[in-house]
Structure 1
Amino acid sequence: MVDFVALTTPRPVAPGRFSLDVPDGWQQGRGAFGGFSLAVLVRALESTEDVAERPLRSLTAELCGPLLPGPAEVSVEVLRRGSGQTTVAARVVQEGAVISHAVGILARARADTTTHLEIPPPRLTPWNDVAPMPSQEWPTFAKFFEYRVTGPFPFSGHSSPVTETWVRLRPPCPKLDAAYLTALADATWPASFSVWTEPRPVGTVSFTLQLFPPFDGVAADAPLLHRGQVLVAADGYSVEQRQLWTEDGRLLALNHQTIATIR
Structure 2
Amino acid sequence: MSLTALYQQIEDSDCIDIPEGWLQGRTIYGGLVAAMLMHKAVSAVNDATKRLLSVSVTFAGPVQLDQVKLTAEILREGKSVTTVEVRLWQQGAVQSILLASFGALRASSILVHQERPAPDYPPVESLKIAQHHPLAPECFKQMQMAWAEGQYPCTGAPRPDFGGWFRFDPNLHENREMNVADLMAAFDMWPPGVLPMYQTMAPASSLTWHLTYVHPLQNQLQDWFKYKVFTDYAGDGYSTEYAHLWDAAGRLIAISRQTVTVFA
TM-score normalised by structure 2 residue count? 0.91
User: 2-side partners of 1:244 and 1:168: how far apart?
Assistant: 12
Equivalent residue pairs, number: 258
User: 1-side partners of 2:55 and 2:163: how far apart?
Assistant: 23
Structure-1 residue corresponding to 2:161: 162
Residue by residue over 1:158-213, the C-alpha shift from the partner in whole angstroms, topping out at 9 and shown as x without a partner, is 23211112111123453311111112111011111122232211111101001124
User: Do residues 199 (structure 1) and 201 (structure 2) align?
Assistant: yes
Deviation, structure 1 residue 118 = 4.1
Structure-2 residue corresponding to 1:228: 229
Deviation, structure 1 residue 237 = 0.3
Distance 1:246 1:145, change over 3 A: same
Secondary structure at 1:11 match in 2:
helix
Secondary structure at 1:157 match in 2:
coil
Secondary structure at 1:245 match in 2:
strand
Secondary structure at 1:233 match in 2:
strand
User: 2-side partners of 1:86 and 1:10: how far apart?
Assistant: 24
Structure-1 residue corresponding to 2:141: 143
Structure-1 residue corresponding to 2:49: 53
Contact in 2 for aligned 1:9/1:43 (Cα 8 Å): no
Structure-1 residue corresponding to 2:104: 108
TM-score normalised by structure 1 residue count? 0.91
Deviation, structure 1 residue 3 = 1.8
Residue by residue over 1:7-63, the C-alpha shift from the partner in whole angstroms, topping out at 9 and shown as x without a partner, is 2554356xxx71111123211122111001000000010012345311111001100
Contact in 2 for aligned 1:25/1:140 (Cα 8 Å): yes
User: 2-side partners of 1:30 and 1:49: how far apart?
Assistant: 32
User: Do residues 187 (structure 1) and 189 (structure 2) align?
Assistant: yes
Aligned-residue identity in percent: 26
Comparing 151-160 with 244-253, greater Cα deviation is found at 151-160
Residue pairs, 1:86-97, within 5 angstroms: 86-97=82-93
User: 2-side partners of 1:192 and 1:55: how far apart?
Assistant: 32
Structure-1 residue corresponding to 2:246: 245
Contact in 1 for aligned 2:177/2:221 (Cα 8 Å): yes
Deviation, structure 1 residue 133 = 1.1
Distance 1:57 1:136, change over 3 A: farther
Comparing 118-127 with 38-47, greater Cα deviation is found at 118-127
